[in-house]
């Protein structure tokens, strides 16, 4: 099983909840919040699929259903008005470049493109959105012209219009926790198949602490190195579980924004262990 084929563990009920909110129009969207590696992007994409499977959008019984679009915010587009949405707005008339004009034109383009369907807009990492895009999302939610599926990391500051979305109850905030020990074990067993020794499951849990991304990389690295192998139908890890290059890069990316004193402390803890 490849990395892309790993199941989305422990999120079934939450996905059904988002689909229910959309089909009943209880809110104008949902925002998934969680720590790095917990699977916010994966969850949001699955939520878009779940909502899209609910049938015709509100107001169009028997007609076209949802018009799903996906947006990934990033640091390079953070200072560009509507930068994250540029691929959705190729025909946008920039006019005088004022926020009011851009908001009006962007809204017109999105409404025209969706036709009679309901706009289903997924936006990953909303903390990296420019102010104009954030205002546009708030307007779309307030007017009922779109159902939003958003993501944001825990503990970061988001643009004020995005914060207002869940503060005002326009979207449902969904906190994605790490996997429980049981969910972690079931995921590993399901991916590997057969039986996995309890000691191996315990080691994987102690190293990942329920972080799905870390768990995935640990299992991949252990299998690729031969440390994790099956004898008959029983999986057993014999030796230290290696850190993959991808996991090392992820950890480096996560810590490079830390203060020098924090990095020094992390190195000390990593070297000293318990």
CA nearest 36: which of 129, 137, 156? 156
Q: For residue 2, name the pLDDT band (cuts at 50, 70, 90).
A: very low
- Lowest mean pLDDT, pick from 6-20, 123-137, 147-161, 259-273: 259-273
The model's confidence at residue 27, banded by pLDDT at 50, 70 and 90, is very high
Q: Average pLDDT, stretch 32-52?
A: 93
Indicate the average pLDDT of the chain.
Answer: 89
pLDDT attached to residue 244: 80
Q: Specify the pairing of strand 118-124 against strand 146-153.
A: parallel
Share of the chain above pLDDT 90, in %: 68
Among 11-20, 225-234, 239-248, which is the least confidently predicted range? 239-248
DSSP letters, 134-182, are: HHHHHHHHHHTSEEEEEEEETT----HHHHHHHHTTSSEEEE-PPPPHH
Phi-psi region of 8 (alpha: psi -120 to 50; beta: other; left: phi over 0): beta
pLDDT digits (tens, 9 = 90+) for 52-86: 998 765 555 555 589 999 999 999 999 999 999 99
Q: What is the pLDDT of residue 69?
A: 96
pLDDT recorded at residue 233? 87
- Concatenated DSSP letters for 48-90? HHHHHTT-SPTT-TTS--EEEEEEE--GGGTTSTTGGGGGG-T
Selection from 224, 266, 268 nearest residue 242 by Cα: 224
pLDDT in the model for residue 10: 84
Per-residue pLDDT tens for 192-242?
988 999 999 999 999 999 999 999 999 999 999 999 999 888 999 998 888
Confidence at residue 137, expressed as pLDDT on a 0 to 100 scale: 97
d(C-alpha 46, C-alpha 50), whole Å: 6
pLDDT band at 3 (very low <50, low <70, confident <90, very high): very low
Order of strands across the sheet that contains 234-237: 195-196, 234-237, 228-231
Residue 151 has a pLDDT of: 97
The whole-number pLDDT of residue 8 equals 85
- What is the number of residues in the chain? 274
Burial 166-183 (b: 16+ CB within 10 A, else e): beeebbbebebebbeeeb
């Amino acid at each position: 099983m490849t990395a892309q084929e790993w199941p989305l563990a422990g999120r079934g009920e939450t996905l059904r909840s988002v689909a229910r909110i959309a089909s009943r129009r209880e809110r104008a969207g949902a925002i998934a919040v969680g720590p790095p590696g917990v699977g916010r992007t994966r969850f949001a994409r699955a939520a878009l699929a779940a909502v899209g499977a609910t049938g015709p959008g509100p107001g169009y019984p028997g007609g076209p259903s949802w018009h799903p679009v996906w947006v990934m915010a990033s640091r390079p587009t953070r200072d560009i008005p509507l930068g994250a949405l540029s691929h959705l707005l190729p025909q946008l008339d920039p006019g005088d470049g004022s926020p009011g004009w851009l908001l009006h034109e962007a809204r017109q383009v999105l409404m025209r493109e969706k036709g009679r369907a309901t706009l289903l807009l997924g936006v990953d990492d909303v903390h990296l959105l420019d102010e104009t895009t954030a205002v546009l999302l708030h307007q779309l939610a307030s007017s009922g012209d779109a159902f939003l599926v958003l993501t944001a990391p825990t503990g970061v500051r988001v643009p004020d219009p995005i914060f207002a979305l869940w503060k005002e109850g326009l979207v449902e905030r969904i906190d994605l926790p790490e996997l429980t020990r049981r969910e972690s074990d079931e995921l590993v067993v399901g991916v590997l198949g057969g039986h996995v020794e309890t000691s191996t499951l315990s080691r994987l849990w102690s190293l990942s602490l329920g972080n799905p991304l870390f768990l995935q990389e640990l299992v991949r690295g252990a299998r690729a190195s031969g440390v994790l192998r099956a004898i008959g139908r029983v999986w057993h890890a014999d030796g230290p579980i290696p850190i993959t290059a991808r996991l090392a890069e992820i950890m480096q990316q996560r810590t490079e924004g830390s203060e020098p004193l924090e990095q020094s402390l992390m190195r000390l803890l990593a070297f000293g262990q318990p």
